[in-house]
Each structure stands twice: as structure tokens, then as C-alpha cells.
Structure 1
Amino acid sequence: MTAVTTAKGDTSDTCERDLLKRVLGALLREDVVGLRSRALAVERQDGPWLRLAAADGAEALLLPIADDGFQSAYTARLPLLVRESDGEELTTCGEVLHALGALADPADRSGFDAFAEECRQTLATMRLHHRTRDEIDGYLADRYGADPADWTGLTESLAHDTLAARQDHPVYPTARGRSGLDDDQLCSYAPEFHPRFALRWIAVPRQTLIVPSGEGRLPACWPTPATLGLPALRHTHIALPVHPLTVGTPLDEALRATGLMDTAVLAERPYLDVMPTLSMRTVALVAEPTLHLKLPLGTATLGLRNRRTIKAGTLIDGAACQRLLETVITREPRFRDTVLIADETVYAHAGHECLAVLCRRWPDGLEGSAVVPLAALLSEAPGGRLLIDHLADRHYDGDPIALLDEALTLLFDWQTTLFGYGIALESHQQNVSLVLNQKPDGRPRLRLLLKDNDGPRINTARMRDALGDDAPAPSTFDDVRINGDDDGPIRDLFTTITVHLCAGAFAFGLARRGRVPLDALLTLVRDRLGEAVGRLGPGPGQPGAVLRDYVLNAPELPVKAMVTAGTLLAKERSGAADINKHYTTGPNYLQRTAAPPR
């Protein structure tokens, strides 16, 4: 499928309403312009509201709120934002962000304009998803079968990525948007449309391409310049893949910046058919689906500052973290057959973040398994049922909670074990997949598959105590933010990624769909986390005590402030050292008996 023909006609206004509700919920959670800290609570006939007045008192905004509990005590509800002076309801993201931007520091108002554009792009994408839903569902069912539990193997796993790509992010409200891309580009290259396309290639002087593992480890399918129609360069140049969306201005700017404009040659001949994965910038080879190529893109997702280019340092750090995880698994043999790690040690770059490639190789033996990113579990499969239900029917006698239980048991065991070694991973829903098949006796077999481990946080003192001479030196990692001398950064990362995105999000997500009472799901999360924490050292300052005090029993938990750091505020204004690890606080939903969310 190379492109999607979109249906004509109006899309339901629910797209804009749903997006605005998510946007306001995120702004409330992150206390943008003091929505949490400066607003006064007002009780009205229909429930609680917040009143936020301008500093001069000339105008006030009214926000109706409802109980939430997942990372924020409250969230927005209809009729959303109202201007007090005339009672006008602000019904678009543009109107809301203009009104809130007027209350912001003048230095920050450009960020509100940028976020309004981000919302506009996201709304256009949501409407495109709405118009093409039936066509994509039909295409997937025709190609892979009506039951997604039958989508086994690495080619079929890309269909699970397609379902996941149409899901909203648990925290970031505009995650479906990609800056600067129009509908035709999305249909041709984005995972939610399941397209197939050919890569472009550029031949660069051999001495300018850095391949730390050696050119001999590049995949066997790697073309020579002669293969690409450039025989005169076969001895002097080496080929580097380029995503078609990077060809043009982003590539030209990279060549000028590196001084390669006159010596690098873009091949006219495309080569190697690929399909996008959930990440979009990472593509799977059609003829060799065990090989993925991660390529720079000029777009941004999850915030204006979250560019999809590839810095050379992240390639170094991903390979170093992979080796560290393999060291831990060697010492913890129970994970040898249950935690699989993609090989990300082969990469190349030419000194610019738009001239790079990561060659990811999946482990062997996945052909007969369903390989499903966590992000896909609550997506609607063709026919309207949740994907987790299809998988539960096949492997867990129709009980999705049994599937979730086993996944959480393994996930928490693995991540708390890493915490004991002083390690926390940025292993969110996109970077962790479930590998599901059956054992010879017919019982389900569930494993974890991890990728993209380039952004960990490490307590170097704890790691040295645990690994001794096997601990990598801090200089092994390129990003100086990775290493620290206390548990704070790894505690925050463990909580915001493993607990919130990989556990809490599923508890609240299933409850909001009316599947299981929220209390029961949160009890499951707390119990499985408590069991995993109980296997760690319980003494003061030991890993188990840290997780018990700062996660299980803490009155509040860290929460990602992604909109603030990613788009609204410049780094010098937000103070964010890392836009993906900038936090506010929210309620600890593991510490209360929660009512079902309204």
C-alpha cells in the first residue's frame, strides 16, 4: 500500500472537542499560567470550576473540572474554557491558547503561538485518521487476517504498529501531530497508513563516514555506489541511506554544514523497499524484516523541540546501554529467556544529525510470535474490539487482566532489578513490545523485547557497588546527563516511564472503557510492583526502601511536564536540562482508593 485515498465529507466535530479536552487537561496538570496554583476553586450547580484571573483583574477565565487521578487530581470537562466577562465558551485550541497566552509572561507568548500551530497540525491529522479508519482497517484485515492475534512475525508486527500509531499518547495531548508534514506526506510515509516506499541514498566520501563497528558489519544488503548508479564513486565513496522526507532542504543544510555539498552525491535511483515502524523515522526492510534502519527526519513530535534527527552521541549511548543491559542479564539468568534486547551496536554517521543511520537487528526466533508494542494494547483492532482482547482470547482464555497481570509481573521484576543496579531506562510504551506465543504444553509464553535504550539514567555509585569491575566508566556514555551520584534521576525516570506509562496508563485506560473497576486494576499494579520491590534490599538507602518510600508510599509522584518543556517555554525559561525528563508532580494513585474516572 503506497498511499491512502482519503474519503470526502465533513469529519465529526468530536475531533476538535476531544483534542481541546486533552490539551486543557495537560495544561492544568502542568500548571501552565498558574491553572493549578493561582486559580480559585468555585462550586457551581454542575460541579467544581476553577477561576483564573489576569494579574490586573480585568478578565478571568473559568475552567470546569472533574476528578481524574492519573498524574493529575483533576482534568478539564465540558464546556471547557469560558470567558467570565461575557460567558463566551472558547471552543477551539487557537482561542484557548490565545486567551491563556494573554495571561503568560510576554517572553513566553511565542510558545503559546507555537503550541497553537502544533494543535492545528494534530487536529488535521486526527481528522485524517477519522476519514481513513475504515479503509485502513479493511486493508489490514485483508492483508493479515481479521483476527490480529494471528498477526505473528516481524512483518505482521508492523500492522500492530499501525494500530498503535492511531492511539493518543497517555500524557502528551498532540502526539499524533508531526510538524511540517501534510496529508499526502503522512499517507505516504507515516505508520498509521501502513505504506511501502523506497529509500534514497547519498554517497559520501569514505573518509567522512564514521562506522565505529567497521564497514564490514554493515548489513549485507548495503548498496555500493555502483549499485545506486554511481560507478565512478565505487572506490572513494560509501552509501548512506536517507529518508525521502529528508531529501531537500534538511539534507542540503546538512551537506552545507559539513562541507560536503560539492563532494557528496545524492543517487537518483531509490533502493530497498521499506515500511515505517511506530517510530516513523525507523523503517523495516520489506525483504529482511529483522533489520530496521533508524533514519533522521526533519519533523518534530511530542513537542516543537523534540526533533526527530539523530545525534551521534545517542548512537554511542544506545550501544553502551545495550552492553550494560546484557551484563545485567548475564548476572540475572532468569531474564535470559524472558527479556530480549535488539542489537543496536551497528551505526554510522557523517558528522551531522541529518547524516546518520542506526542498523537495528532483532533477535532470532520471533517468526511465530505476536510482537506487539505496549502502545498498541488498547488500540481498536479491525472490527472495533481492543487488541488486548484479541490477544487474551488467543493466549489467556479470554481474560485481558490475566495478560496484563503477567506482563506487569515480568516488567516490574525486570525494571526493579535494573533499579537495584542503579539503572533506569526510557523504556516507554513505544520501546517495549510484548512477544507472545505458546509453550509446548499450550500455556502462554510472554517475553519483553526492548529497543532504543539511548536515554537511561544511572546512579554510578550504586552501579559500581553492584557490578564492580563490570561497571562501565562514566566516559563510556556521550551524554553527561546519564550519570549521576544519587537515586533521584533514576527514581524519577522509573516512576514516569515504567509506573505511569507502562502500568498506570493501562489501569486507567481499561477502567475508562468500563472494562474493570479502577480499584481492582490499581490494586493489581500496586501488588505486582510491591512484590518486585520486595525482592530488593529493604534496609535504609537500599533500592527496595527507596522505591517503597518514594513510589509506593509517597504522597505525590513526579509527572512529565512535556508541553511546558517541549513547546511552551524555552529551556532557559523552563530550566529543563532534558525536555523529556522535566517534571511537575501529581497524586500517587497507588496510595488511594480511587473512584472510577468521570
Structure 2
Amino acid sequence: MTARGAGLPDETADAAQGELVTRVLSALLREDVVGLRSAGRLVHRPDGAWWQRPCEDGRFLLLPVVEDGFQCEYAARLPLLVAEFGDPLEPGDPREPGAPEEPGEPGEPGQSGQSGQFRGSASVRYETCDAVLGVLRALAHPLDQAGFDAFAEECRQTLTTMRLHTAVRDEVFDRLTARHGPRVTDWTGLSGGPAYDTLAAHLDHPVYPTARGRAGLDETHLRAYAPESHPRFALRWLAVPQEAVTGTFPDRWPTPAALGLPGLDGTHVALPVHPLTVGAPLRGALRATGLEARAVLADRAHLEAVPTLSMRTVALTDEPSLHVKLPLATASLGLRNRRTIKPGTLVDGAAGQRLIEQVIVREPRFGGTILHAEESRYAHAGHELLAALFRRHPEGLQDSVVVPLAALPAGAPGGRLVVDHLADRFYGGDLLALLDAFLTLLLDWQTTLFGYGIALESHQQNISMVLDRQHDGRTRLRLLLKDNDGPRINGVRLRERLGDAAPGAGDFDDARTFAAGDQPVVDLFTTVTVHLCAGAYAFGFARHGRAPLAVLLRLVRDRLAEAIERLGTGAGEPGAVLRAQVLDAPRLPVKAMVTAGTLLSKERSGAADINKHYTTGPNYLLRAGSPA
């Protein structure tokens, strides 16, 4: 790929860069990187609002912003950061940052735009991620500057991927319609799920600005193995001594002999390996575990698969109800967010599934509406690159449309959004009715879990909407959940509800799972269920013009309020906690994913978990009405 990106016209490449710079600036402001938010203030100009942050050397950083409200009061409105020397802007000041009155000296290397003079002060414009991060890096603590370099590389990877997505979109859409049919809502059953994953993979994450980038992977890798290309490929296989493996395999699993390794069936088992892990990463894992001389890599690839949205999880094309999660030696959503599989997460996923099953038994109204993938089968050889999860989905979904929540705002072949097609088929074209049914079930379920002291890491990728029509013609909406590791549990509430049947800390590998109070559970509930699975759609669909933002926020607030009331809102009851800390709180926790994932080390950020490290933002639910 060329620097401009797969032969795209300059204006297309520049558009991608502008989109990325705007998202990055918004994230850095939201997460208060180098005090950008806390040390700054708002100033107004004839062209709009600007955020102004003073520097110790006499400069002022100026960021053009617009009112937002989704996790931060303001977001960047232009792909631009201005550094200015001279007096700060005051309200009513006629100067326009970055628009010089007379020519000045050219900018320093790595900067973009131009320098200029007005009223005795100079300004420089920064319009690329490299330039913006270079300015902010100089303001960071020396121990943190390497993190800014790493994030700059993430931005470069993401820009390459964005340009690739634009270049291949028509080709991918043709592949999807050829395999699954021209009508999106005919992509039924579990075989249709990865097709929706492909559409979702062309979207940006609601919070993390460089989510489309994957460390160390180039265009060839993305075309061959990433979900946005909707490829098919065969798995590789490693014969591992039986005594080195913990776990169980699915029925009718390939044997070493079936993979071209005769004589090993009695001593070895076949562990699947992602093709991208074969090579130096796999050799390193075998050396680390002392298996280098005893494990045998089969030359023969076997079992065709298609990637899901997570990329490391693949669906078997001949058995679409079985997904295999395989470790990858890459990272996404942050340098420290590696796509390997720590053996302990397999233990925790199975324990989380058992816990959810206990709740559903006690809450029978969810028995027919909350579906769960079975995640108790897994195998590992004591290393994060020698592991596999065998996820089995429920039967009987072949006539249902199974859509990951992440795909709802995705563009579909023909130009309309996925959610538009779903609303047409199942709700007479009424998108609000679809969202209403979804939010009612989602928030009832998640608040019920909170009543047991449980919050799940069930973000947009881990929940699918299951839609079909019953015999009487009525639409049925269900939710399908997966990936149960990483919950937060208030052990006191859980024991109050489940008594002796309640699992304890010893049932989970991750010591961070259990807490003695509600706060970690509230934080996870808010940042995942409220922000990612509800608020993101209110703001997103309003931007797409599907309904006014006020109407969508009122819908979220009303359904959340109804769900909270069912919990009980007396003193000390879980509903009272959610009402005070979520529904009516002045500010809400917000994921600081860039800070914890790449910019700062754990020692510098203090993040016990990079996916659960928070700052705060405005409570947009208060805009939907006064507290009841």
C-alpha cells in the first residue's frame, strides 16, 4: 500500500486523516491528557467555540470544539490544534486562531499548516496525528513520552486501515451479497452473524479512536484474516502432549492422525492455532513452556473458518454454531490490550456463565428472552498463545436474524444502516419501536443482574440481537450473550441473594472480580451497559437523523428508570444506588481507554485493569428530564 493508501485520491486520503485527527483530539480532551481539559477553559470566537490550554513556556494550545455531551461536554469539531504565542484569547477577542494576518516563519519539521503573526503573537497549526501528539508529548512527563510515540504508531496503523476499508468496501459488499444474499435481513442464522460482524468492522469504536488499527498487521494480513474483509481460511494445528494440556475438546474433534501426524493419537491432542500465530510467536511460546521438542506443528491446515468482529474468534463454516477463540500476537484498543488468551480468563468465562445460569433459574421471565453461548469447554497448555475457547451457541436460531449490537449503525449494501433494514422487516419501519423493545429487555436484564451484585463486560461486541417472527406473526426480540470473563461482583449482595449457592473469589482466577461494595459494579454497569449499549445509540442515531436526540435520550432514561424501579428504591436497595449514582448523578464514570491502554504504564496511570480505568463526564441522562 502506498503512503496515500491503496491508490485513493488525495481528497479521500485527506478525509480519512481528518476523521482520525478529530476523533483522537476528542479522546485526548475527554481523558484530560496532559491536563488538556482540567487546565483549560472555553473561549468563544465568531467561528465557534475553542478550548484554550496554557503552557508553561508562554504558549496557548487552542482546540476548536463543539458541544457534545456524550461522555464529555465538548468534542473536537475540526481536525486542528493550534499553538499560539502571546496573550491568551479572551471572550470577544477578534483574533481567529491559525488565520495569520501576515506571513511568518514556516512551522517546525513534523508540523503541518503554517505559522503566522497577529498582534505580535505567532501561531502554528497542527493537522496530523503525528504533529498533534508531538506537541502534547513535549508537555508529558518524561516517563510517559514513549507512550505518546506508541500512540502515534497506533494512529498510523489506523489511518492505513481506514484507507484500506475505503478502497475495498465495494469489493467486500459484493462478497457479502454473493455469499449471503442481496437482502440484509435474509442473512439469517448463526452463519449470517459473521456477515454482520464484517459490516461492524468498518465502523469506529464509540470511545477508542484508533480501534480499527491492529499492532503489527499489514494490508496482506488484514485482507486474509480480518473481519472487515470477510475472508475464509483454514486453521493450523499443533499436536501437544496430553499431559501438558488442561481442558476438554468438542466432540468429533480432529486427531493428530487426521491432520497428517500418524502415531501421535495415543500421546498427543490437536490444539488449533490461528495462522497468524504460526512462526516466531508460536516458537516463543513453545520455548517458554518447554514444549519445543515435544509439540509438533502439522503441515496440513484443516477446518475452514471466517473471522468474527473480535478477529481472534472464528466461526467454523461447516459448523457455524461453534466459534473457536484463538490467541493472536497483536493488540487492539491499546498497546497493552493484547489479543492473547490468558488461561485464567478461560476459567473465569466458564465461572461467569455458571453464575448467569443461576440468576436465570431464579428469574424465569428471562428464560426465553436471554440466550447464552456455552463457554465451559476450553483447552490450554499453560501459555497465553497456547489456548483455545470452544464457544457453542444455542440451537434453533437458523430462522432468526442474529445481529451483534455493534453492527446496528453500520452501513449495509445499498447505503442504508443495518438498523433501518431491521426496523423495516420487524417493526413496520419504526426504528424507535425497535430501540424501545431492545432497551426494555436490555435494561431490565442488566439491572436485575445489578440487584444480585453483578455487572458484565457485555459491550456491543458481546451481545447480539436475535429477531424473528412467531407463529402468530408477532415480532420476538431476544438477546444472545457471550464472553463472560471480566465481570465485577459485589460479594455481599451476591451472598444475600444466592446464599450458600453464591460463588466466591476462589471460583474466579482474577482477584479483581469481587468487591466489598457497589462502586466497581456501578462503574462497569455505567460505562458498558449505559454508555456503550444505550447512550451511544441515542447520540449515534441522532447524528444519522433518525430521531431528535432529546427523544432518544428520553427513551433511554425512561426505560432505565422503569428497570430501576423494579429493583426497589428504598434505602440501601440496589435501585436506590442506581438512581443516585447513574440516573440522577451530576457526572458519570467514563472509560479512559487511551490513557490506560497506551499512553501511560500501569504504574503511572494506577490502572488495576486497563479496560476499567475511568475519568468522568457529564450525565447526558439529565438532559432527558428532571430527576423524578
Q: Residue type of the partner of 1:509?
A: G
Matched to 1:77, the amino acid is R
How far the C-alpha of 1:84 sits from its partner, in A, is 1.2
Question: 2:82: which partner in 1?
Answer: 82
How far apart are residue 46 of structure 1 and its match? 1.2
Is it true that 1:68 corresponds to 2:68 in the alignment? yes
Q: Based on CA coordinates, which of the two structures has the bigger radius of gyration? A: 2
Q: 1:156 aligns with which of 164, 184, 192?
A: 192
The answer to whether the 8 A contact 1:154-1:371 is kept is yes
Counting only pairs closer than 5 Å after superposition, residues 52-451 of structure 1 correspond to structure 2 as 52-57=53-58, 59-78=59-78, 80-85=80-85, 86=115, 87-211=123-247, 215=248, 218-451=249-482
1:580 counterpart SS class: helix
Q: How does 1:561-572 map to 2 (within 5 A)?
A: 561-572=592-603
Task: Measure the CA separation in 1 of the matches of 2:163 and 2:178.
Answer: 24
* Aligned AA (1:474): A
In structure 2, what residue type is equivalent to 1:116? A
The separation in 2 between residues aligned to 1:474 and 1:142, in whole angstroms, is 49
Structure 2 residue corresponding to 1:580, chosen from 608, 611, 626: 611
The one-letter amino acid paired with 1:143 is R
Give 2:179's aligned amino acid: R
For the Cα contact (< 8 Å) 1:79–1:89, is it kept in 2? no
Determine whether 1:499 maps to 2:530.
Answer: yes
Residue aligning to 2:112: none
Report deviation, 1:487.
0.2
1:536: how far off? 0.5
d(CA) in 1 for partners of 2:8, 2:212: 21
CA–CA distance in structure 1, aligned partners of residues 427 and 624 of structure 2: 28
Aligned equivalents of 1:238, 1:492: Cα separation in 2: 42
1:447-490 deviations in whole A, cap 9, x for unaligned? Answer: 00000010100000000001112211221001010001100000
Would you say the 8 A contact 2:553–2:623 is kept in 1? no
1:225 and 1:238 in contact (8 A); partners too: yes
Distance, in Å, in 1 between the alignment partners of 2:303 and 2:446 is 37
Aligned partner (choices 446, 453, 470) of residue 484 of structure 2:
453
What do residues 189-222 of structure 1 show as CA deviations (whole Å, max 9, x unaligned)?
00111100000001111110111xxx4xx22342
**SS at the partner of 2:324?**
strand
Identity of aligned residues (%): 67
Per-residue Cα deviation, 1:564-586 (whole angstroms, up to 9, x for no partner) = 00000000000000000000000
Amino acid corresponding to residue 190 of structure 1 in structure 2? A
The 1-side partners of 2:498 and 2:606 are apart by 33
Q: CA deviation at 1:79?
A: 5.2
Q: How many residues align?
A: 583
CA offsets, 1:525-552, max 9 Å, x none? Answer: 0000000000002111210000000000
How far 1:512 sits from its partner (Å)?
0.7
Contact 2:181/2:187 (8 A) holds in 1 = yes
Counterpart contact for 1:7–1:132, Cα < 8 Å: no
Distance 1:8 1:56, change over 3 A: closer
Separation of aligned partners in 1, 2:426 and 2:254: 42
Aligned residue for 1:16? Answer: 17
Displacement of 1:50 in angstroms is 1.8
Counterparts of 2:473 and 2:316, CA distance in 1:
32
C-alpha distance in structure 1 between counterparts of 2:469 and 2:200, whole Å: 23
Distance 2:506 2:354 in 1: 14
Query: For 1:514, which of 536, 545, 566 is the aligned residue?
Result: 545
Alignment of 1:525 with 2:556, yes or no, is yes
For 1:99-154, what per-residue CA distance to the aligned partner results, in whole angstroms no more than 9, with x for missing partners?
11111111111100000000000000000000011111122122212221111011
Q: Is the contact between residue 457 and residue 490 of structure 1 (CA under 8 Å) also seen in structure 2?
A: yes
Length-normalised TM-score, structure 2: 0.92
Contact in 2 for aligned 1:28/1:75 (Cα 8 Å): yes
1:403 aligned counterpart, secondary structure: helix
- Partners of 2:369 and 2:52 in 1: how far apart? 51
SS of structure 2 residue aligned to 1:84: strand
> What whole-Å deviation, never above 9, does each CA across 1:47-104 have from its counterpart, x for those lacking one?
22122232232x3321111100000000111252112143332111000000111111
Instruction: Give the match's secondary structure for 2:51.
Output: strand
* Code of the aligned partner of 1:28: L
Q: Distance in 1 between matches of 2:7 and 2:586?
A: 50
Structure 1: which 5+ runs fail to align?
A: 1-5
Indicate the residue corresponding to 1:3 in structure 2.
Answer: none
| Structure 2: 5+ residue stretches without partners | 86-114, 116-122
Confirm or deny: 8 A CA contact 1:70 1:589 kept in the other structure.
yes
- Write out aligned runs for 1:456-467 (5 A): 456-467=487-498
Which stretch shows the higher mean deviation, 227-236 or 580-589?
227-236
CA distance in structure 2 between the aligned counterparts of 1:515 and 1:223, rounded to whole angstroms: 49
Amino acid corresponding to residue 39 of structure 1 in structure 2? G
2:569 alignment counterpart: 538
Kindly provide the CA deviation profile for residues 135-189 of structure 1, in whole angstroms up to 9, marking residues without a partner as x: 1112212221222111101111111110011111000000111100000100000
Residue type of the partner of 1:166?
H
Partners of 1:50 and 1:165 in 2: how far apart? 32
Deviation at 1:236, TM superposition (A): 1.3
Q: 1:79 to 1:342 in 2, by over 3 A?
A: closer
Q: CA deviation at 1:418?
A: 0.2
**One-letter amino acid of the counterpart of residue 80, structure 2:** L
SS at structure 1 position matched to 2:263: helix
Would the alpha carbon gap of residues 539 and 356 (structure 1) be closer, same or farther in structure 2, given more than 3 Å must change?
same
User: What is the alpha-carbon root mean square deviation over aligned residues?
Assistant: 1.1
SS state at 2:275 partner? coil
Q: Aligned partner of 2:413: which letter?
A: P
Which sits farther off after the overlay, 220-229 or 61-70?
220-229
TM-score (norm 1): 0.96
Match of 2:48 in 1: 47
User: Matches of 2:586 and 2:184 in 1, distance apart?
Assistant: 40
Q: What SS does the corresponding residue of 2:205 show, helix, strand or coil?
A: coil
2:100 matched to which residue of 1?
A: none
Provide, for residues 233-280 of structure 1, a one-character-per-residue CA deviation record: whole Å limited to 9, x for no partner.
221111100000000111111001001111111111111111101110
Q: Deviations over 1:377-401 (max 9, x none)?
A: 0000000000001011100000111
